[in-house]
Structure 1
Amino acid sequence: MFYQDLHNHTQWSDGDSTIEALINRAREYGLQEIGISDHYEFVDDKVVYREMLGSLKKKFQDIKVLIGTEIKIGTLLRVSHTDIDELNQYDYILIENLEYQSDIAEVLESLKDLSSKLTCKIGLAHLDLEQLGKLRGQVIEFMTQYNIFLDFNFEGTFYINLLQGYGQIEDVLHQGIEVVVGSDTHSIDMDWWTNMVAAHEYLLKARKLYNKEGLRET
């Protein structure tokens, strides 16, 4: 099975380990792909951050290292043209706090404009579609139209609620939306491997189910 984790934090933001220590722990667990997604608002020198990750990309040949960042929706909506160019130097960005906006429909219109300018991959993190109510369909349509992936974050109660039958993963897979696994790790001392395996197995079963209906493999 292909194991990935695209939601991780290090000492560059609010995590407690170095980037290299986190990558080595992922290698010990047998991951094939690890994404470092330190909080955009916390990283003071973003150039050095990306350069360090770029060098580690070259150093490790047995695991794919991706350069990412997690950014608050409010921060993203205030970015300048210069910031857009800078964001496009990441492999991907994770957008958080969408469901907590007072006017989600208006925010989605702004995101459509931004998404057309971003060349890096874009994901939505910590997204609980159940909280969106009537706007759920609009968000799924936006994700489909702009090739936005869903960060299946298996940390804490969100993961538990998903597996208890919210059906969010099945819904987005049914729409052809890519789903990736993220642990939201802040410490290499946290044993996230059991939940990670369970999350990947859950995704695999869901993908096989919908692939029988002619949907693409994500």
Structure 2
Amino acid sequence: MPDFNCFMDLHNHTIWSDGADTPEEIIMNAIEHQVEAVGVSDHFDNYSLGNDNLKIYMNHINVLKSEHINSIKVFTGIEISFVYLLKNYSTLPYKLLNQLDFILIEHLDYIPQSVKLEYVAEILKLIKCSKGLAHTDLLKWADNYKDKGGLDYVLDFIEQSNLFWEINTDSAYDIFLNILNPRRMDENTEAVLQGIAKRKIHVSVGSDTHSLVQYNYERLKTANEVAKKLNVGIGNRWC
């Protein structure tokens, strides 16, 4: 299983979904900022990427991957809402999806308590490529399962489902603001990081860029420093 021990930005949106920039512009910006691994992860749903253009999208990013192989590692991904996955899992093109380098899953921290994590795990098993949690507030999610162990229950699920967790540099959630500003660090955020390290859960970094006008390199740098410490000794995934 590859690792996250390089300078990475694995969460970027382009004109293929709701981004303002082309995949080429995202990649060139990453090269300019000496990012070692960049991921294009456009939204996959009824309004952005869909079944009809997924293969064209993948071919486009894979061509860029080859073109820039000597400058940067490019990864082909998508971002999919778990709500969409839950409604459409029986009809998704898994043969294509599983050829992706990774899939980011969002909104698991928004699912109702009535949706059992055991059921979530069965759906996630259909995804064979690397998969992780995009901008997921683990503390908010854990509050839904206080009666089952809270944070430990959620982290155990992430470990057992072989998911990675993203430090999102664009999110306004306290957990990410605390990570990006050590003066804000509190015991709850510390508990999350300690739990992740204990379970050797892989940690990625994503700028969640929708426009390069808002690109924040300093946040990306700080997030990578934290991720590198958490990923030490796990193995090489993206570099």
CA contact (8 A) 1:173 1:179 kept: no
Q: Which runs of 5+ in 1 are unaligned?
A: none
CA shift in 2, pair 1:169/1:104, >3 Å: farther
Give the 5 Å matches for 1:118-157. 118-131=127-140, 132-133=142-143, 134=146, 135-157=150-172
Structure 1 partner of 2:225: 201
Instruction: Name the CA distance, whole Å, in 1 between partners of 2:161 and 2:114.
Output: 16
1:76-155 paired onto structure 2 within 5 Å: 76-77=85-86, 78-80=88-90, 82-103=92-113, 106=116, 108-131=117-140, 132-133=142-143, 134=146, 135-155=150-170
Moved over 3 A (4+): 204-208
Q: What is the count of residue pairs matched by the alignment? A: 211
Of residues 27-36 and 168-177 in structure 1, the stretch that sits farther from structure 2 once superposed is 168-177
Distance in 1, matches of 2:49 and 2:39, equals: 16
**TM-score of the two chains, using structure 2 as the length reference:** 0.81
1:34 counterpart residue number: 38
Q: Which residue of 1 aligns with 2:216?
A: 192
Counterparts of 1:104 and 1:187, CA distance in 2: 36
Q: Are 2:200 and 2:231, in contact at CA under 8 Å, matched by a contact in 1? A: no
Q: Identity over aligned residues, as a percent?
A: 33
SS in 1 for 2:131: strand
Query: 2:49 aligns to what?
Result: 43
Q: Find the aligned partners of 2:155 and 2:62 in 1 and give their Cα distance.
A: 32
Distance 2:114 2:208 in 1: 24
Question: Are the aligned partners of 1:169 and 1:179 in contact in 2 as well (CA < 8 Å)?
Answer: no
Deviation at 1:143, TM superposition (A): 1.3
**Cα offset, 1:173, TM superposition:** 1.8
Opposite residue 23 of structure 1, the aligned amino acid is: I
Contact 1:129/1:136, CA 8 A, preserved across alignment: yes
For residues 206 and 120 of structure 1, do their structure 2 counterparts lie closer, same or farther at Cα, with a shift above 3 Å needed?
closer
